[in-house]
Amino acid sequence: MQITAAITHSKGELALETAEVAGPKATEVLVRMVAAGVCHTDAAGIEQFIPVTLPAIFGHEGVGVVEEVGLAVDDLKPGDKVIMTYPSCGVCDYCRDAHPFACDQFNFLAFSGTFKDGTKRFSQNGQDISSFFGQGSFATHAIVDARNAVKVEGVTEDQLAYMCSLGCGVQTGAGMVLNVFHPRPATSLAVFGCGGVGMAAIMAGRIAGCSQIIAVDVNPGRLALALELGATGTVNPKAVGDVVEAIKDLSGGGVHYAAESSGVPQLTLTAVQSLRRLGHACVVSVTGPGTIELPIEPALMNPSCSLTGVTEGGSNPQVFIPQLAEYYKAGLLPIDRLVRFYDFADIKQAFADSHTGVTIKPVLRF
């Protein structure tokens, strides 16, 4: 069928054009897109830091309504509302052990541009077009494997539009806290970086009953919002001399948990140094240029601390996303506070506002 999509023909380009999408193969569904979040990983693909074969249709935080299902799909039907999430193969050791975020095939399924059989679903004038993350949700319709389409019930399309980032950014931030840390109540949490991922970590810290949640960011507006969303204190690295000392002062000697979502390499070390003994730090972001050296003995071994790296919040999306949806519906995960809607035609503005930080979570409406 004919669709409108934002097509990247060459590095950095986003052109709204007419294209074609094929019907779903056996395990796939065709989704009419209701909305799609803009994530930094899309920009990394469009700019070719992630070398997805071009032309390509990016977008990996799509939500929509199922229109057609493949012959082997038995858990979705036309009319179902779905949140699309990251792809996984379902048959490797990690998928079979309920850790699809560590899937053997993740890089192939997310970044090769093809589906698991090596073929593509989008095309234009007979030329194949890559999908991103097994979605390509910057399009009015897209094909997705049923494994990475999670059904949500009891929401309108307008409510669904706020839930895009449950599929990636919120899943990553909330999962870091709820799936990796499993905080005991009345513990302390520091969150480095107050973008969409960090804000989700703050909200999840409140859900888990953390009594002290310290937000760390250089943007005063974001720190003010973090306080409204559950943070109990803030540290602005531009305003304090020593971030580690400031966190230790606030927390009485160091935090139980430190969540690094900023992507600044140095802050992984800062997060570890901000821990109390037996503390646990986690890093979830692709770091920017530069490396740090982590002194294992004084930073980790001697104080018996741990550092975990994890993708997609360590989540099993078919289980975790419905939980997050319930938290959202109950008002416990106010992700709507992060969202600003843009018409699909304004996709370039949405990316510009994401880049400058004017908008925490730009969401395109179709």
- According to the binding rule CB under 5 A, does residue 208 interact with Zn ion? no
Query: Based on CB atoms, which residue is closest to Zn ion, 21 or 36?
Result: 36
Q: Using the rule CB under 5 A, is 83 a contact of Zn ion?
A: no
Closest Cα partner for 166 from 140, 137, 141, 200? 200
Residue 303 Cβ vs Zn ion, minimum distance, rounded to whole Å: 32
Nearer to Zn ion by Cβ, of 168 and 259: the residue is 168
Q: Which of residues 152-171 bind Zn ion (CB under 5 A)?
A: 168
In the list 5, 33, 39, 269, the residue contacting Zn ion (rule: CB under 5 A) is: 39
Burial class of residue 218 (count of CB atoms within 10 Å of its CB; 0-12, 13-18, 19+): middle
Q: Which is nearer to Zn ion, 65 or 92 (CB)?
A: 92
The residue range among 101-109, 112-120, 235-243, 259-267 that interacts with Zn ion, by the rule CB under 5 A, is 101-109
Question: Among 135, 139, 132, 37, which Cα is nearest to 350's?
Answer: 37
Answer for which of 89, 199, 225, 360 binds Zn ion (CB under 5 A) is 89
| Segment 301-307 long-range contacts (CB within 8 Å, at least 24 positions apart) | 303/275, 303/276, 303/277, 303/278, 303/279, 304/277, 304/278, 305/272, 305/275, 305/277, 305/278, 305/279, 305/280, 305/281, 306/279, 306/280, 306/281, 307/268, 307/272, 307/280, 307/281, 307/282, 307/283
Q: Residue 95 interacts with Zn ion (CB under 5 A)?
A: yes
Largest CA distance in the chain: 64
Question: Counting contacts by CB under 5 A, is residue 50 touching Zn ion?
Answer: no
Task: Answer yes or no whether residue 234 interacts with Zn ion by CB under 5 A.
Answer: no
Neighbours of 335 (CB within 10 A): 25
Closest to Zn ion by CB, 30 or 200: 200
Does residue 92 belong to the site contacting Zn ion (CB under 5 A)?
Answer: yes
Size of the site for Zn ion (CB under 5 A): 8
**Does residue 41 touch Zn ion according to CB under 5 A?**
yes
Residues that bind Zn ion (CB under 5 A): 39, 41, 88-89, 92, 95, 103, 168
